[in-house]
Structure 1
Amino acid sequence: MTRVPDPRDAPGSVAGRLAAAVDAGMARGRDDLARLVAFRSVANPVIEPASECAASAALVAELFAEAGVDGVEQVEAPDGSIAVVGRSAGPAGAPAALLYSHHDVVPAGDLAAWSVPPWELTERDGRWYARGSADCKGNLVATLLALRAVRQVLGSWPVEVAVVCEGSEEQSSGGMEALARGRPELVRCDAFVLADTGNVALGAPTLTTSLRGTGSVLMAVRTMAHPAHSGMYGGAAPDALQALLTALASLRDAEGETTIDGLEREGTWEGAGFDEHRFADDTAVVPGVAPLSGGRGAAGIADRLWARPAATVLAIDCPRVSQVTAAVQGEARAVVNLRVPAGTDPRAAQDLLMAHLRRHTPYGVVEVRPVSLGHGFRARTDGPAYAAMTRSMERAFGHEVATAGQGGSIPLATTLAEVVPEAEVLLLGVEEPASRIHGPDESVHPDELRRTAVALALFLVELAGLDPDAPAPAGA
């Protein structure tokens, strides 16, 4: 692989000075991250107090203002969450870049599953642990480091710089999407940089070019007004749990392929495959079990992740083993999540899923209703912003940029593409497989945070059409 020049090879250049400024700012970045993760900013007052999100938003606003962004304000979105926005003018005629992140997080979950306090930044084995350390407060800190470095080295903004830090991304409540549609001036730009994805491996710069659409449904099966004793009635009593399990089992075939009636499942991923061994490591597959590749190895895994639908049973309401009684169940419920590749209509796919579940439930009163819905996304890869980001990431990481799909959904990407159709949408971030986002012991590697910050700083220079190898201005 061809070596990409390190910015530090030319310490007097713009690139070298930006890298040095980010390096020097890492201690401050760690302090910022520690302050941010201390807030239990789950955008659901049933789980954590709303005051935690409010305090988090206030700190984000303070940090953006300190970084030199003008007009920073906290804006209430239609779902009641708080987004932090700001915008600084650049030179006349310069393009505008919007840097996005979110300050809300998923719940900590089972505290006993954490080996460190989830709301306290803890350093261990070279990584920084806490809920939100990677998703997405680590991305926010990388953005702040980049902004400070650009101001320090250049003395002014080379482009128009806008920031948006959402307050309810993890809840899929559509607050930021509605805000963008209602106030398009907040998101007007030439390039969106959504810092909410990550790299395929530590130190491997990656641009996400495809996002799956999503839709969850809630299914309930009722057969009796109350449970019935299995000794007296088992065998003839209509078992709601068994009926539910029969329907759920019909969603996959013996090789794990999703088999929803009427939904196309033959798609193939045109990019690089996903190595089976790395996938097994990333997902902590236990010995004796293999990834579900359909016998096609790396290509099969990539197909199922990014080019085909995937139905996943997220939860089932039924008696716990620890509370077992000899009873046939009269009611059972489940939540099923459906992911579909970009280009597939998620609402049509969700309708097919609901019809499939009703059709494959052998008996009982069946109710299936939609819970959430999000559209997939495919990024443009032929624009000047994409080219500028590719150069910047290669220089910051020292390796060529990889492209990948992502199984998760970011509905805002689709909304932004609709509201500002001429703008490019770039997806990247500090996350990588060891980050374990949404799980216990979430973490970020500080080198990944640093490299991403350097890439973002270089991107603002490249987008402006400036030469990063030119000597840095004196006295800035």
Structure 2
Amino acid sequence: MTTDYKAYFESLREQHLDQLKELLTIPSISALSEHKPDVAKAAAWIADALRTAGLEHVEIHETKGHPIIYADHLHAPGKPTVLIYGHYDVQPVDPLHLWETPPFEPSIRDGKLYARGATDDKGQLFLHIKAVEALLSQESALPVNVKFCIEGEEEVSSPNLPLFLQDNKEKLAADVVLISDTSLIEKGKPAISTGLRGLCSLEISVHTANTDLHSGTFGGGVPNALHAMVSLLASLHDEQGRIAVDGFYKGVPELSSEMRAEFEKQNFNEEGLRTDLGLDTLYGEEGYSFVERTGARPTLELNGVYGGFQGEGSKTVIPKEAHAKITCRLVGDQDPQDMLDKIERHLHSHIQPGAKVVVKPMEKAFAFNIDPSHPMLQKAADAYERVYGTRALFTKDGGSIPIVAKLSRVLSAPAVMMGFGLPDENLHAPNEHFNLENFDKGLLTLVEYLKMI
């Protein structure tokens, strides 16, 4: 007799939502030290949920930061092993006054569950636990071998997970890494990400005189740190929107006709986006559409520029220093350290006379890419089609999840990113939420996928 999983999940829906709400009340903010006990509490909650679901060998591994949880169920000889990755830590909630309801008091409005972590990533991780629980409950066995690796530091760039991976390669060995931390293209239109951009970031400081100077007494006769900074930053792009750093595009693959066709299938409404954002025009590297620019091309973006007098009124001063923060999104085989080195050389060679530039490297992460023809991805698309009624498109996401490339490389396993969020669910922002339509369909899709592979 075939189990009706739709009826099963419907019968337990309120119970499952109450459990998820309980998890969402825990303020597991990994970036803030005062919430370290809350992060530990969330780890314990997840471990208990895994045990209840029927997982075995549930372990909480302490690290120099926050705990990593492991669990498995390995009773399907000859079948593939699936490593399910997720994270239980969340972003800070500022600005608090913009939340319509308190971020750690979950509430349902208009078919959406509002709370910090609802979509990123507690809600999506919860789907995997309940999908495994359903299979064990209804069939007393899993169709595949399953392992869980769940961390509490994804929102702070996973500083301790890489060492855990290296030290536990055999324990974590798998045929596929399954992750739900991305989104559909739009409501009812599922997507499987075949690429995530890598990352490198840096801070720049420009220094001139040893003190701020009066602009009347010294103006026109000494270097101005702000002038030097503005000129330096302007040198980083050409008039066609390309990055003007020598060698920056080394390792960047040209878009294949097949990949461009996948982008076109999204039917992205650039004019609608322009209108929604109140812009006169979109902007970027010439020769590429918006989805190509944001998913498959590298970037160099200014995140902050500051210096000199910024208070109310006027102060006629020549500032002695200026600062800027830069983030680059990387694609293909771009090496983040190589990119940082090239940018630093560019900055030193383009600084105005009389000014000095100091560069502080920050984050580094490689890009992730996978061939969409891989059987594990094709089966994921099949699973989406069975539940959503439409086959998932293969996309490339502009964001960075650094640990995905690390997981895939260390374990030599393909990473399948089956997201159930939506782009407008305010992850990292006030009023984060999870559409319950995708909560329901996500459970069914994951069950289908685990039964297919």
The answer for the alignment partner of 2:296 in structure 1 is 307
1:203 shift after superposition: 1.9
Conservation of the 8 A alpha-carbon contact between 1:228 and 1:237: no
* Gap change, CA 1:317 and 1:418, over 3 Å in 2: same
1:65 lines up with 2:51 in the alignment: yes
Conservation of the 8 A alpha-carbon contact between 2:103 and 2:431: yes
1:148 shift after superposition: 2.1
- Which one of 386, 389, 396 corresponds to residue 395 of structure 1? 386
The answer for the alignment partner of 2:131 in structure 1 is 146
1:20 shift after superposition: 2.4
* Gap change, CA 1:67 and 1:236, over 3 Å in 2: farther
1:214 shift after superposition: 0.7
The answer for the alignment partner of 1:330 in structure 2 is 320
1:174 shift after superposition: 2.8
Conservation of the 8 A alpha-carbon contact between 1:127 and 1:445: yes
The answer for the alignment partner of 2:40 in structure 1 is 54
Per the alignment, in what secondary structure is the counterpart of residue 335 of structure 1?
A: strand
Per the alignment, in what secondary structure is the counterpart of residue 201 of structure 2?
A: strand
* Gap change, CA 1:254 and 1:285, over 3 Å in 2: farther
Alignment of 1:426-441 (within 5 A): 426-441=416-431
Residues of 1 paired with 2:349 and 2:441: CA distance?
51
Residues of 1 paired with 2:435 and 2:330: CA distance?
31
* Gap change, CA 1:21 and 1:242, over 3 Å in 2: farther
* Gap change, CA 1:441 and 1:235, over 3 Å in 2: farther
Alignment of 1:24-103 (within 5 A): 24-46=11-33, 48-77=34-63, 79-103=64-88
Which string of whole-angstrom CA distances, capped at 9 and with x for unpartnered residues, describes residues 132-179 of structure 1? 111111111211221222122212222111111111111114321221
The answer for the alignment partner of 1:473 in structure 2 is none
1:204 lines up with 2:189 in the alignment: yes
Per the alignment, in what secondary structure is the counterpart of residue 263 of structure 2?
A: coil
- Which one of 391, 396, 405 corresponds to residue 405 of structure 1? 396
Alignment of 1:326-475 (within 5 A): 326=315, 327-363=317-353, 364-421=355-412, 423-463=413-453
Instruction: Give the TM-score of the pair, scaled to structure 1.
Output: 0.86
Residues of 1 paired with 2:273 and 2:279: CA distance?
16
* Gap change, CA 1:267 and 1:259, over 3 Å in 2: farther
The answer for the alignment partner of 2:122 in structure 1 is 137
Residues of 1 paired with 2:273 and 2:420: CA distance?
16
Per the alignment, in what secondary structure is the counterpart of residue 20 of structure 2?
A: helix
- Which one of 229, 232, 245 corresponds to residue 244 of structure 1? 229
1:315 shift after superposition: 2.5
Instruction: Give 1:342's aligned amino acid.
Output: G
1:116 shift after superposition: 2.9
* Gap change, CA 1:449 and 1:281, over 3 Å in 2: farther
1:284 shift after superposition: 7.8
Conservation of the 8 A alpha-carbon contact between 1:25 and 1:145: no
1:120 shift after superposition: 2.1
Q: Which moved more, 1:186-195 or 1:381-390?
A: 381-390
Conservation of the 8 A alpha-carbon contact between 1:308 and 1:341: yes
Instruction: Give 1:345's aligned amino acid.
Output: D
Conservation of the 8 A alpha-carbon contact between 2:176 and 2:414: yes
1:461 shift after superposition: 1.0
Per the alignment, in what secondary structure is the counterpart of residue 15 of structure 2?
A: helix
Instruction: Give 2:212's aligned amino acid.
Output: P
Conservation of the 8 A alpha-carbon contact between 1:218 and 1:335: yes
* Gap change, CA 1:308 and 1:227, over 3 Å in 2: same
Which string of whole-angstrom CA distances, capped at 9 and with x for unpartnered residues, describes residues 348-373 of structure 1? 12222222233333242211121010
1:235 lines up with 2:220 in the alignment: yes
Residues of 2 paired with 1:267 and 1:460: CA distance?
34
Per the alignment, in what secondary structure is the counterpart of residue 57 of structure 2?
A: coil
Conservation of the 8 A alpha-carbon contact between 1:180 and 1:186: no
Residues of 2 paired with 1:283 and 1:217: CA distance?
29
Residues of 1 paired with 2:13 and 2:241: CA distance?
44
Conservation of the 8 A alpha-carbon contact between 1:193 and 1:428: yes
Aligned length: 445
Residues of 1 paired with 2:230 and 2:384: CA distance?
47
CA RMSD of superposed structures (Å): 2.5
Per the alignment, in what secondary structure is the counterpart of residue 133 of structure 1?
A: coil
1:128 shift after superposition: 1.6
Instruction: Give 1:41's aligned amino acid.
Output: S
Conservation of the 8 A alpha-carbon contact between 2:268 and 2:291: no
Structure 1: stretches of 5+ with no match in the other structure: 1-11, 464-476
Which string of whole-angstrom CA distances, capped at 9 and with x for unpartnered residues, describes residues 18-70 of structure 1? 23223333323322332222222222235x42112111111111111111111
Conservation of the 8 A alpha-carbon contact between 1:202 and 1:432: yes
Per the alignment, in what secondary structure is the counterpart of residue 84 of structure 1?
A: strand
Residues of 2 paired with 1:122 and 1:230: CA distance?
56
* Gap change, CA 1:204 and 1:333, over 3 Å in 2: same
Structure 2: stretches of 5+ with no match in the other structure: none
